[in-house]
Each structure stands twice: as structure tokens, then as C-alpha cells.
Amino acid sequence: MSRFRPAAAAAMVSSLLAFCVSACDEPGSDTGTLTTLPTEPAVGEVEAGEDAPTLLKPWAPPMMHSRTVEVEGTNRNYVLSLPAGARQREGLPVIFAFHGLGEEAVTMQRHTNLDVADAIVVYMQGVEKAWSPAPYAKTTADQDLAYVDAVRTQLIGEFDIDQSRVFAAGFSNGGGFAAFLGCRRPQDFTAVATVAAAQYEKVFEGCSSIPMKQIDFHGTDDEVIQYNGGFRHGSSYDSIEESTDGAAARNRCAAEPEETKVLDTVVEERWVDCDAGLEHYRIEGGHHVWPGGETDRSGIPKDFATHRLLKFFGIGLR
């Protein structure tokens, strides 16, 4: 039976320690070196690289709020309606919407429901609830054009906007101003939608010859802006035939439109062989309303005009 010898054990431990000091400190040796495994980076700390994963923030929900822009030393307001993820998305379209005489931006929003558009929608506010170049406007044409220019510039600086997809839509007095924008800002707007539009004489003064896509809606029994033209506020306004003939000539369309009955009381007139599309919807017995809008009691499907103009613009629904 062997016996434990303290002296021998001490000598062995000493030898092992000496070996470790020599071997562990030898350059190039892996003995005794601890390898630290990389840890998963925290969210937001991924380094850029070809194989690095992209961490996406959740899209912000749709929202609407009032805003102000300074125009030639004067503050002017508008209401901005944003689709989901407006600040994260690229190439968004924009719709400028213009209310009728005596109305406000929020009235236009409520009556038209343009918020269904998968686009940035800008409900503009006229000074004293009116738009130039109508005879009752409190602003000049240049002042209202400068207002539109300022808002457009503000939005382009803040959002990623597809500048080839900027549109104007207007009702009554606002419809006349949308047509006016198509005449005066054809380089900035892709198409216009005019609904029960008050197209007074000055709307088409100095109109550009550049073709402009247009979709128009008007009721044959409109008691405010009559279908066959008339005279109001000391100025005449065009009949629908006159205004569409002028648009067809500007857009270099074939002389006569093709007619299609799309509802019992709605006839679509579509011009063909145009350099820019042109459509008119004749609402038989229709009054001075946005067809299918909040105040329309004709039985036309809800949001009829809104859905038709969005299709014409090439804009989907939210």
C-alpha cells in the first residue's frame, strides 16, 4: 500500500505551474486562450453591409391635422390627410382638394371622402371661403397660385412625393379653380377633376396649350351652375358642352366622345385618340352636389365620383 508523500506532491505541482507559465505565454500558442463568441446585436445596432438584415419600423397609422404655410408674408391654412406610413414610403401621390364657395377645407373632406385615397390629400382653404379667378374672390389669381405653390414645395421637402403624380380636384367654385390650375400649372399637375364646376370666363384666360388630363362630373338639373351655362355674380360661365369642347381641342382628341350608360341616371362620355385623357359624367337629374357624396340624395352609389376620379388618376384605396 503506497503512502502519501507531501514533498513529492509539492514538487509535481511546482513542475506543472512552471510548464503552464512557459507554454501559455508562448507567442502564437492557442493554449489557455478564451475565445469570445459574437453576440446578437441589439435592435438598431446592425452594421450596414450587403448581408445585414433591414430592420423596419412599423408604419405610422393614417392621420389628419391642420397646418399653416406662410405665403408672401401671410399665413394660410390647410388640412393634411396622410395615408399609413406616409413618412416611411416612397413615391406617394398627392391630391389637392378645393372646396366650394362659402365652404371650408373640412367641409370638402366630409362631403367627398377623398381620405379613402392611398395618397397624401391636401384640403386647401380659400380666403373668405372662395377661390380666384371667380368674380367674388377676395384674392387675386396670383395670390392663390402662390399659396398652392408654397404648399406643394412644403410637402415635397417633407415627404417622398412622386412629382409626376400630383392632382387637383375641386367642387363648384373649387372645381373652377382646379380647372384654372390645369391651365396655369400644367407642369406641376398631372390631371384635374372638376365637379359641378363654376368655370367663369377668367378661368380659361391665358390657358396653356399643353394637354391636361381631366375628368368632369355635372348634374343636368344643377340649379347653381347650370348644365347649359349661365350668368352669375356679374360674369358668364361656360356650358358643359363649351368647356368639354375646349378641353377636347386642347387635348387633341377626336371630335365626338363615345357614350356609355354606366348607371340608370349616369352617362359616361369618353373622348378617344387624345394626347391627354378626357372624360365627362352626365348625371341625369343631378343637382349641385358631389355625386355619391355626403349630401347627395339621388341614390347614386356612395363615393361614386370619388372612386371614378381616383381610378382616372391611377390611385388605389387605403
User: Beta 230-232 vs 235-237: how paired, if at all?
Assistant: antiparallel
What is the DSSP secondary-structure string of the chain?
-----HHHHHHHHHHHHHHHHHHHTSTT--TTPPPPPPPPPPTT-PPPSTTPPP-PPPPPPPEEEEEEEEETTEEEEEEEEE-TTTTT-SSEEEEEEEPPTT--HHHHHHHH-GGGBSSEEEEE--GGG--TTSTT-SS-HHHHHHHHHHHHHHHHHHS-EEEEEEEEEEETHHHHHHHHHHHH-TTT-SEEEEES---BGGGGTT---S--EEEEEEETT-SSS-TT-EEETTEEE--HHHHHHHHHHHTT--SS-EEEEEETTEEEEE--S-SS-EEEEEETT--SS-TTSTT--S-PPTTHHHHHHHHHHT--B-
Residue range 284-301, pLDDT digits in tens: 999 999 999 999 999 999
Question: Residue ranges per domain, the chain?
Answer: 63-313
What is the DSSP secondary-structure string of 15-60?
HHHHHHHHHHTSTT--TTPPPPPPPPPPTT-PPPSTTPPP-PPPPP
Q: May I ask the CATH architecture of the domain 63-313?
A: 3-Layer(aba) Sandwich (3.40)
Q: What percent of the chain has pLDDT above 70?
A: 82
Q: How confident is the model at residue 26 (pLDDT cuts 50, 70, 90)?
A: very low
97: left (phi over 0), alpha (psi -120 to 50) or beta: beta
What average pLDDT score do residues 58-63 get? Answer: 92
- C-alpha distances in angstroms, 196 versus 95, 113, 164, 216, 310? 18, 16, 26, 8, 17
Residue range 95-132, pLDDT digits in tens: 999 999 999 999 999 999 999 999 999 999 999 999 99
Q: According to the model, what pLDDT value does residue 255 have?
A: 83
- Which positions ≥6 away from 62 have C-beta within 8 Å? 81, 82, 83, 84, 115, 318
Whole-prediction pTM: 0.82
Q: According to the model, what pLDDT value does residue 57 have?
A: 74
Residue range 212-246, pLDDT digits in tens: 999 999 999 999 999 999 999 999 999 999 999 99
What is the average pLDDT score of the chain? 87
Residue range 85-97, pLDDT digits in tens: 999 999 999 999 9
Q: According to the model, what pLDDT value does residue 56 have?
A: 65
Q: According to the model, what pLDDT value does residue 54 have?
A: 57
